[in-house]
Every structure is written in structure tokens, then in C-alpha cells.
Amino acid sequence: MGYYIGVEPGVNIYVEDINPGGGKTIFFIHGWPASHKMFEYQFNQLPKMGYRCIGMDMRGFGKSDKPWSGYDYNRLADDVRCVVEALKLEGITLGGHSTGGAVAIRYVARHNAFGVAKLALFAAAAPSLIKRPYFPYGLNREDVINIIQDTYSDRPKMLQGFGDMFFFQYVTQPFSEWFFQLGLEAASWSTAAVANTWLDEEGLFSDLGKIFVPTLILHGIHDRVCRFPLAEAQKEGIKNSKLIPFEYSGHGLFYDQCDKFNKELAQFAGA
């Protein structure tokens, strides 16, 4: 079941609601620059286990509206709040991948975990995607600037290069093409704007200490986008958290080790 939810005048967010009559709810926030469709291999399995799965497309991505502005983590977290309120969600597991994980962290911290009983982070881009003087584990700032510049000059080439470093295990050419198309559904300006947010956002460091709900951290040790030390920093910063390394996964652990991913998430959400 798919529908649109207004989050501010003129901006509607697309939401896919799978098995709305199911039991416990898992709310998925996708990573940059994809859409809710990236969780296809969760949506076709977890509902069989009795879960209701909700996937939203962040503004600027997938089927959602693509306004010129509103791509900082505060606004993106506020969009999540609008969806949670509109669907009257309570006691959910909020899960986010990469940038979506950062948005999930900001949501729990900014909105006092409204409607959320548990938090699940998948290769989350937190507490910082880029290296900083006090945090030497992220990407080089120059690499992100190049991503932004390439977005404006040759976005398909940029997306292809990003896709090539996304998965650790082999993916077929048809799968690679499908994943590439997810990125093309986004607007170029929103793709660049979120990347700019990576450069400027430093509040996630303090956000980690504001999380009080049980938190599951799933992270591939071969991740070349959000490197594994980010997961260790999340574990250290979030009091009630558990880190599970994925030994044969890169950034796309939801597909690299799909069965393990689904099992760990289902056990956590259902406990």
C-alpha cells in the first residue's frame, strides 16, 4: 500500500506500507542516494515473519516531492515525525541505513524517540561521514567535495562509481543496473544538498548520548563508505547498544549478507 503524506506546504513524502495488518512495525529510512526500494529483500521476507514494514522516500529521493531546500538532518528528521504522527505509529523499531541512519539518530535525539521503542542502525553515517580533526575515521573531505562536483557535471558517472564501492560480495550486472537506477530517481540538487550536509553536520556526536532506547548496530567490516570505526564510535556513544559486525559485508550489508541481516533485525524487533 503506497500513499503520500504532507510534511509542509507543497511537500509530500511517499510511504510504502507493507503488511499494514501485521504485528510489530519496522520503519525503514533509506540511505543516499536511493529510496525505500533498496530494502526490497527485507520487504519480501520480514512480512512473512509477521512484521509490518514501512519504507519512506526522503524528500528529494524516490517518489517523494523534490523541493529545492530542506536537506539538513533536522528537517529530514522532522519529515519522519510527520509520517509517524500521520500513521499514528507507536512502539516501532526505527531503522536507518547510512545517511538514513544519521537521520534516525537525529530523530530519536530531536524528538525524544516519539513513537520509537527501538533503534536499528545499518552502516550508519554517524557520528561523522567525513574525517575531522577529532575524528580521523571517515572519508576525506575532498572526496565528498568531488562527489558534489561530479553530481553537477556527470551524475550518472558519479552514481556508477559509488555503486561500484557499495557491495563487498559479487552482484550481477542486472542487479547493479537496478541499483544504479534507484539513484537516478533522485533529483540532482537533492543528491548534492545531502552530500553538503555531510560536510557541515557535527551534531550527531552529541546526539549519540541522547539515545536511551535499545539500539542495534549492524555494520560491515569491509565498508568503504561508512567505515567500521564509525560503528565502534556509535557503540561507545550509545549506552544501551549492541554492535554486530558483518564479516562478509561492505556498505550494502542488507544485501551482502541478506539472510543474516534479516534474522538479526527480526530478532531485535521482535524481542
What mean pLDDT is predicted for residues 54-77? 98
Comparing CA positions, the residue from 237, 171, 242, 178 lying closest to residue 204 is 237
Q: Which residues contact 61 (CB under 8 A, 6 or more apart)?
A: 30, 32, 33, 34, 35, 185, 186, 187, 190
Cα(216)–Cα(218) distance, integer angstroms: 6
In the residue annotation, 111 being an active-site residue is answered as: no
Comparing CA positions, the residue from 13, 25, 194 lying closest to residue 106 is 194
* pTM for this model (two decimals): 0.97
Cα(50)–Cα(48) distance, integer angstroms: 5
Cell of 126: 554517524
CA distances from 214 to 68, 92, 108, 116, 241 (A): 35, 12, 11, 10, 6
- Choose the catalytic residue: 98, 128, 241, 249: 98
* pLDDT above 90 (res 24): yes
Give the pLDDT score at 271. Answer: 78
What mean pLDDT is predicted for residues 121-143? 96
- Choose the catalytic residue: 30, 36, 97, 251: 251
- Burial degree of 1 (CB within 10 A; 0-12, 13-18, 19+): exposed
What mean pLDDT is predicted for residues 36-52? 97
- Choose the catalytic residue: 223, 241, 249, 256: 223
Domains along the sequence of the chain with CATH: 2-270 (3.40.50.1820)
* pLDDT above 90 (res 139): yes
* pLDDT above 90 (res 84): yes
What mean pLDDT is predicted for residues 192-215? 97
pLDDT tens per residue, range 154-188: 999 999 999 999 999 999 999 999 999 999 999 99
If phi > 0 it is left, if psi is from -120 to 50 it is alpha, else beta; for residue 122 that is beta
Cβ atoms within 10 Å, residue 242? 13
Give the pLDDT score at 255. Answer: 98
Give the pLDDT score at 1. Answer: 84
In the residue annotation, 251 being an active-site residue is answered as: yes
Strand partners, 95: 28, 120
